[in-house]
Structure 1
């Protein structure tokens, strides 16, 4: 009697927990360190970002600037934003410049909506006189 055929293992998809939904590349440069981020930053992946940020802020023992390139981030929720804000606090305590140098449209919207982009050296796209809601003229 022959054994039944064995089904091949399922291919990893972005919804599979083992699939890397976030990409972090560390690039040392003459001016400091660049973290190139891509994919999704949410409650399931923020710990990987946090680890990379902690490593980059403690690496080398110097006060070399840390720049984040988030141009390939497709999603970032409040957990991701909190991870970035905590990293900013750690960087400030260590007197290490931390900035975001490039953002995707989704990240730009999040930072603009929460008015936190300026904390990372990004200009706000909001007009200072703009309101958060529709205006009703009398």
Structure 2
């Protein structure tokens, strides 16, 4: 089996940040989907997936991301990507998935973007 790891880095209330390492392919996409959906089922309906250590992603990997997005959406949640490698970012753009799956340059940026500012939290 191909090397793959999904490691939760931050879980706080309805938000989870997970770091993904390895390949997203036919062998590993079901693991990605199952582990991400488990986070949603645990109440973390807003997911940030840090893809900085993803070395390869084929159509089954993209399909898993779409499935995770759909599941998050059914719980009024979100799926956001972070630190997407340039080669994957290009494929997301070419396929139109970048419009569906917003990306941030780093996981830290994604966390800050998710955190409501004091002005909007009291409005």
The TM tier, using the shorter chain, reads 0.7 to 0.9
Do 1:69 and 1:100's aligned partners in 2 also have CA atoms closer than 8 Å? yes
Which ranges of structure 1 fall in alignment gaps of 5 or more residues? Answer: 1-16, 124-138
The answer to whether the 8 A contact 2:18-2:47 is kept is yes
After TM superposition, the score normalised by the length of structure 1 is 0.67
Alignment partner, residue 110 of structure 1: 91
Structure ID, larger Rg: 1
- For residues 92-111 of structure 1, the aligned pairs below 5 Å read 92-111=73-92
Alignment of 1:20-59 (within 5 A): 20-30=2-12, 32-59=15-42
Which of the two has greater strand per residue?
2
Any unmatched runs of 5+ in structure 2?
A: 105-123
Query: 3-state DSSP class of the match of 1:79?
Result: helix
- TM-score normalised per structure 2: 0.75
Distance in 1 (alpha carbons) for counterparts of 2:69 and 2:47: 10
State how many pairs are aligned.
Answer: 103
Of Structure 1 and Structure 2, which has the larger fraction of its residues in helix? 2
Equivalent pair of 1:36/1:70 in contact (CA under 8 Å): yes
Decide whether aligned partners of structure 1 residues 62 and 112 sit closer, same or farther in structure 2, where only a CA change above 3 A counts. closer
Structure ranking higher on relative contact order (CA contacts 8 Å, 6+ apart): 2
